[in-house]
Amino acid sequence: MSTDPDLVPVPARRLVDAALVRRLVANQFPQWADLPVRPVPRGWDNQTFRLGEHLSVRLPTAQEYALAVDKEHRWLPVLAPQLPLPVPVPVARGVPADGYGFGWSVYAWIDGEPARLDSVGDLTGFADDLAAFLVALRRVDPTAGPQPGLHNWFRGGPLRVYDPQVRRAVEVLDRRIPGEIVTEIWRSALEAVWDGRPVWFHGDVAPGNLLTRDGALAAVIDFGTCGVGDPACDVAIAWTLLSGQSREAFRARLDVDPATWARGRAWALWKALIVYAGALPDDRSVAAEAHRVIDDIVSEYVTPGR
């Protein structure tokens, strides 16, 4: 399979319902056959169903996303004891059956709500806790850890692999964004080449993967894009959720150098651009949020410290 994301077709997702999940669980794990199954409205790469009160079932929606199942079962039990917040830990592994074609997982359920500006009590404290988590993750021994590849959509590798996608998105968005400054931000990040020691990264530090309880960061979930390499992709949250004082607290606690900050900004920009371009004209709310992120990135770039 190609190692160039531009040559990899968009995954053909297949969604399942609770009835199929019940059959999979009953046939492979009869000890849980009587537990209720309820869909959880989150996730793209995977569907999640709550199994009883203490378990969840995680099913990849496409073959490409299923590549992460082996990785999660191999590495999450290694990472979890070394991290300051709960992360998903696999309890059992299912196999393809009943018309479902991929490996799947049973996890311990983690209570919490996805992070939102209106659900976080102290955003600066939240940012500091998140940075502390990422510092601990980076300290885990990276020996034999998964290198960037299709299993995590090349996170941890060089930004240049996504250059064609960014250029196309800028063309599609045309006058909707300040194309010249956006291109400058992207090019400056391409020049900020990473030459550091490979470390562990999460790969998708997004609000939906950060669970809160009582207004505080309570857990970090969804390690499907984790790996070992350049950790700049984990810095993107500085623009997708944080701002002002919370952004500066995050940067200070994580001790981000200027080059990594530039690459992290570019990761956030890449995602916002392709989401914005892909949402037009079908989903105005998604397009509006992506536009907001792009505007914030441009403002912070033009006025550092904003």
Q: How far apart are CA 174 and CA 88, in angstroms?
A: 41
pLDDT of residue 288: 96
Nearest to 257 by CA among 195, 181, 184: 195
Residue 54 burial (C-beta neighbours within 10 Å; 0-12, 13-18, 19+): exposed
Give the DSSP letter of residue 11.
P
Q: What is the pLDDT of residues 175-226, one digit of tens each?
A: 999 999 999 999 999 999 999 999 999 999 999 999 999 999 999 999 999 9
The amino acid at 70: D
Q: How far apart are CA 53 and CA 220, in angstroms?
A: 19
> How far, in Å, are 25, 27, 248 from residue 96 at the CA level?
12, 11, 46
Taking the alpha carbons at both ends of the chain, their separation in whole angstroms is 42
Which token pair is 56?
């969840």
Q: Which two tokens stand for residue 211?
A: 């669970």
pLDDT of res. 306:
59
Is the distance from CB of 147 to CB of 156 less than 8 angstroms? yes
In whole angstroms, give the CA distance from residue 287 to residue 279.
5
CB distance 221 to 102 below 8 Å: no
pLDDT under 70: residue ranges of the chain: 1-9, 305-306
In total, the chain counts a number of residues equal to 306
Position 1 scores a pLDDT of 40
